[in-house]
Amino acid sequence: MTTTRSGPDAGPDTGPAGPGADPAARGRARRTAVVVGGGLAGVTAALALADAGVEVTLTEARPRLGGLAFSFKRGELTVDNGQHVFLRCCTAYQWFLDRIAARDLVTLQDRLDVPVLDADTGRTGRIGRVGLPVPLHLAPSLLRYPHLSVAERASVGRAALALRGLDLDDPALDRVDFASWLAARGQSARTVEALWDLVAVATLNATSAQSSLGLAAKVFKTGLLSAPGAADIGWAAVPLGDLHDGRARAALDAAGVRVLLRSRAAALTARPPGADDGSGGDPARDVAHAGWCVNVETGPGRGEQLNAGTVVLAVPQHEAHELLPAGALEEPEKLLRIGTAPILNVHVIYDRQVLQQPFLAAIGSPVQWVFDRTRSSGLTGGGQYVALSQSAVQDEIDLPVAELRRRYLPELERVLPAARGAAVRDFFVTRERTATFAPTPGVGALRPGPATRAPGLYLAGAWTATGWPATMEGAVRSGLHASRQALSALGLPCEPGVLEAA
Ligand SMILES: Cc1cc2nc3c(=O)[nH]c(=O)nc-3n(C[C@H](O)[C@H](O)[C@H](O)COP(=O)(O)OP(=O)(O)OC[C@H]3O[C@@H](n4cnc5c(N)ncnc54)[C@H](O)[C@@H]3O)c2cc1C
């Protein structure tokens, strides 16, 4: 791909897709791609396109890859912006881990096992599976679950079977909220708190009342009711940045992808073969057979112009709306109606071990999920580093650190009795105000697919129509979907493994 510079170093525009380019050169131009955004969606799309022989440039605004799943240094510690987990049913994300040669950096449970502590009673129950076919694999754990009465456990079983019968392709599921559906199936407030929301809040970043039935059904059907091992939990054994930045960068380099960091795409314009004829016609028709020009800000007063036949916009929905040329989507304003939801992580370094297992979930407390981050963060000198992952915390995301400290340290002492006599060496929080798209009823009708009306222009990102909530799995799938469409339009084959993962 030919790139041109603008700003102080400006040189002549020699892009092969430009006016006057001969047809052969234009054909080659269609095999060049710019991917905007270096989150999991963008990295995936870049790798899949490069693997098929396309010459790819990936441009990322920040100084690192990984998007919303990243790490940073705090003294000797390497801190994740937020605890991330995946499930065994996340096949596309695991394809991604293999593709970036990072499988050795994650841990995946042999069998689902989630300790669930009730902070009010001090009792711990477990959600786990046994070696029986679906749905019996969960039955023993449900029968023994101490946080529900016998009648509530039976009602959960009935609701789970009803959930299993839902058709995920039915658009009506998107218009209903999950809590109403649960209530209509006799689920008490206690079953919602102790079971349904325990899973929904962590996976959807929303309570059942805030979630569309469609996305909730996707999570429960795929994770708990599709295959016995589907919900086995995996997590990075190292900082997230080692995977999504370090290994991803190495894979992109090896695939020949040109990676531009600190390079924000500021504008995207079509390069019609006949150039500007001033006809002012239908924009979607005007961009037919065009190449694309992406203007990238590479520093103060500096820029670069990237020309390519294919562009994948793998940026959040609001940024995509800003960059999309007129006519590329029928109703671009829908993107602005896709809401966002926050996730807060509370990080506490104790002078001793307070959590005996890799993680636990809590009910009867504002504490949601607690993870041991000691080894993966590089903490030395004894002590333990725990991170609380607090999802759907719209009312807490902007609270001052001192307030969060007053709220969470006593709660941690309730949840982790060993913390009662322990000294707190460090306490800090990480806030992601737009961690995920909000999975509210109706959101399914707002999420666009990977193709746009403009030839050669595709969308990717966890917020696009993957059928999944905002997850690493959804992000990777979106990158695979976008690259598959792009390759098909270019007449290039897509690697079979990639198709299966998508
Ligand atoms: C705290 C937290 C916890 C989470 N927990 C989980 C979990 O446990 N499991 C799970 O599966 N998922 C989890 N998620 C969600 C998951 O991280 C995201 O769904 C996924 O990473 C989104 O990837 P993406 O590529 O779609 O988007 P992003 O990660 O948002 O990537 C978009 C990229 O585009 C870049 N960009 C934006 N504008 C421009 C521009 N103009 N030019 C160039 N680049 C631009 C951004 O800098 C960013 O790097 C969590 C998210 C957060 C924040």
CA distance 275 to 496: 38
In a domain, 314, yes or no: yes
In a domain, 446, yes or no: yes
Q: Which of 473, 452, 454, 474 is nearest to 463 (CA)?
A: 474
Paired residues of 31 in beta bridges: none
The pLDDT tens digits along the chain (502 residues) read 434 433 322 222 223 333 334 444 444 444 999 999 999 999 999 999 999 999 999 999 999 999 999 999 999 999 999 999 999 999 999 999 999 999 999 999 999 999 999 999 999 999 999 999 999 999 999 999 999 999 999 999 999 999 999 999 999 999 999 999 999 999 999 999 999 999 999 999 999 999 999 999 999 999 999 999 999 999 999 999 999 999 999 999 999 999 999 999 999 999 866 544 333 343 444 444 569 999 999 989 999 999 999 999 999 999 999 999 999 999 999 999 999 999 999 999 999 999 999 999 999 999 999 999 999 999 998 999 999 999 999 999 999 999 999 999 999 999 999 999 999 999 999 999 999 999 999 999 999 999 999 999 999 999 999 999 999 999 999 999 999 999 999 999 887 777 676 6
- Looking at the structure, tell me whether residues 267 and 315 fall in a common domain: yes
Q: Which residues contact 314 (CB under 8 A, 6 or more apart)?
A: 35, 36, 37, 38, 39, 41, 42, 45, 459, 460, 461, 478, 479, 482
The last residue of a domain, from among 383, 403, 437: 437
- Looking at the structure, tell me whether residues 207 and 327 fall in a common domain: no
The last residue of a domain, from among 227, 253, 272: 227
In a domain, 42, yes or no: yes
Residue 502's pLDDT is 65
In a domain, 353, yes or no: yes
- Looking at the structure, tell me whether residues 471 and 333 fall in a common domain: yes
- Looking at the structure, tell me whether residues 452 and 332 fall in a common domain: yes
Does ipTM exceed 0.95?
Answer: yes
| Domain count along the chain | 3
Q: Cα 432–435–440 angle (5° rounding)?
A: 135
Domain holding 376: CATH number? 3.90.660.10
Name which residue sits closest to atom 48 of ligand 1, judged by CA: 67
CA distances for 144 relative to 243, 357, 361, 385, angstroms: 38, 20, 17, 31
Q: Which of 275, 274, 267, 277 is nearest to 305 (CA)?
A: 267
- Looking at the structure, tell me whether residues 15 and 87 fall in a common domain: no
Name which residue sits closest to atom 6 of ligand 1, judged by CA: 84
Secondary structure (DSSP) of 4-30: EEEGGG------TTSTT--HHHHHHHT
CA distance 70 to 372: 17
Pocket of ligand 1 (CB under 6 A): 36-42, 59-62, 67-69, 81-82, 84-86, 264-265, 314-316, 319, 343, 345, 432, 435-436, 461-462, 470-475
- Looking at the structure, tell me whether residues 312 and 258 fall in a common domain: yes
In a domain, 494, yes or no: yes
Q: What is the DSSP letter of 456?
A: T
- Looking at the structure, tell me whether residues 245 and 291 fall in a common domain: yes
Instruction: Tell me if 396 is assigned to a ligand binding site.
Output: no
User: Which residue type is seen at 254?
Assistant: A
CA distance 258 to 237: 28
Distance 284 CA to ligand 1 centre (A): 29
* Exposure class string for 79-96: b at 16+ Cβ within 10 A, else e: bbbbbbbbbbbbbbbbbb
Helix (H) or strand (E) holding 437: strand 424-437
CA distance 137 to 155: 17
27: number of Cβ within 10 Å: 14
- Looking at the structure, tell me whether residues 58 and 90 fall in a common domain: no
Q: Range of 183's domain? A: 130-227
Name which residue sits closest to atom 5 of ligand 1, judged by CA: 84
- Inter-axis angle of helices 197-204 and 213-224, nearest 10: 100
- Looking at the structure, tell me whether residues 351 and 395 fall in a common domain: yes
Name which residue sits closest to atom 51 of ligand 1, judged by CA: 435
- Looking at the structure, tell me whether residues 216 and 177 fall in a common domain: yes
Distance 85 CA to ligand 1 centre (A): 14
* Cα 252 → chain centroid: 19
